[in-house]
């Protein structure tokens, strides 16, 4: 059994008069870096497990998941002791094997309340975390780095499932179109910009058509719609990206915002507040 330590021991003692060679020092540095990455990944995984604990309606399940979170932190940190036997205590093995997915089922007769898709990442987090201390029996730096990456991936999968489950629980909202919320000054600012651009395009087209016939009005309307379309599409993409019911991850959210900015960066800036608070109308350029 390993003995809990406040921090992983170093292979070289600063008080040792015998300095390690270059190769040994490089290995020590690689192991130390791997140990730090493992601890960080364990903290991130434990934070997610604590989110699951905080969502439980039964206190017994919440406490069981809190124990799982504490165990993940412990096995990804102070239980990884170079030179040890790499084994876990019976308590840690049981916590990471049973409490994770069963919670306090033996006393409540129920399973922990988890969203669809959360149970598998939770089991993976616990299995990977439990394997981390055994890396001391092989190539510590390489094996620990590989498992740490897997732990981070399992945690991210769990967070994605959590976000999706939370999104599914959101009440349906009526879609908002640009200009529909006149109480929002940023919405009014963006709407005025799109309207002014459309009106300008309409007037210019009428001016150059040379008459007030049906064809001239149709061409002017076509130009107005073309001028307004990109801004309206950009605003719609922002509304979609910001809808919590979709449960978008940060990369997906950023992708939609990037497309919106490519369509009409000024409208994106207006809705984000970059062009002021919406209390002053933008200056409308006049046709030459």
Domain identity same for 115 and 140: yes
- Residues 236-249: pLDDT tens digits? 888 888 877 777 77
Domain identity same for 131 and 42: yes
Q: Which is more confident, 9 or 168?
A: 168
Task: Write down the pTM of the prediction.
Answer: 0.61
Work out the pLDDT band at 153, boundaries 50, 70, 90. very high
- Residues 203-227: pLDDT tens digits? 787 777 666 677 777 878 788 888 8
Domain identity same for 144 and 55: yes
**Distance (Å, whole) CA 208 – CA 221:** 13
Domain identity same for 122 and 192: no
Structure token pair of residue 238: 């922002």
Domain identity same for 47 and 154: yes
Task: Report yes or no on 11 lying in a domain.
Answer: no
pLDDT at 277: 60
**Distance (Å, whole) CA 71 – CA 100:** 10
Domain identity same for 122 and 244: no
Domain identity same for 220 and 259: yes
pLDDT at 135: 95
**Percentage of the chain lying above the pLDDT 70 cut:** 81
Number of domains in the chain: 2
Domain identity same for 139 and 56: yes
Work out the pLDDT band at 179, boundaries 50, 70, 90. low
Domain identity same for 85 and 207: no
**Cα separation values, 58 from 7, 44, 63, 102, Å:** 34, 24, 9, 13
Task: Report yes or no on 40 lying in a domain.
Answer: yes
Domain identity same for 34 and 162: yes
> Structural domain of residue 116, as residue ranges?
27-168
Domain identity same for 164 and 192: no
**Distance (Å, whole) CA 123 – CA 154:** 9
């Amino acid at each position: 059994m390993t003995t809990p330590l406040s921090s992983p021991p170093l292979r070289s003692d600063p008080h040792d008069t015998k300095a390690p060679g270059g190769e040994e020092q490089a290995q020590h540095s690689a192991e130390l870096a791997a140990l730090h990455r493992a601890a960080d990944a364990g903290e991130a995984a434990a934070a997610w497990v604590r989110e699951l604990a905080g969502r439980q309606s039964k206190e017994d399940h919440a406490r069981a998941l809190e124990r799982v979170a504490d165990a993940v932190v412990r096995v990804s940190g102070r239980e990884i002791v170079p030179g040890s036997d790499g084994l876990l205590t019976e308590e840690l093995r049981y916590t990471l094997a049973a409490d994770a997915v069963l919670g306090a089922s033996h006393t409540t007769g129920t399973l922990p309340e988890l969203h669809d898709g959360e149970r598998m990442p939770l089991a993976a987090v616990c299995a990977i975390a439990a394997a981390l201390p055994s890396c001391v029996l092989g190539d510590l730096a390489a094996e620990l780095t590989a498992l740490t990456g897997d732990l981070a991936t399992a945690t991210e999968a769990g967070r994605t499932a959590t976000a999706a489950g939370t999104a599914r629980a959101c009440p349906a909202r009526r879609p908002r179109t640009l200009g529909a919320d006149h109480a929002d000054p940023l919405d009014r600012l963006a709407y005025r910009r799109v309207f002014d651009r459309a009106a300008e395009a309409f007037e210019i087209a009428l001016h150059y058509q040379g008459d007030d016939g049906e064809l001239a009005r149709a061409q002017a309307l076509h130009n107005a719609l073309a001028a307004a379309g990109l801004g309206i599409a950009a605003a719609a993409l922002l509304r979609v990206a910001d809808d919590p019911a979709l449960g978008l991850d940060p990369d997906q959210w950023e992708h939609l915002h990037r497309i919106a900015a490519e369509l009409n960066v000024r409208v994106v800036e207006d809705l984000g507040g970059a062009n002021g608070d919406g209390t002053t109308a933008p200056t409308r350029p006049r046709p030459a």
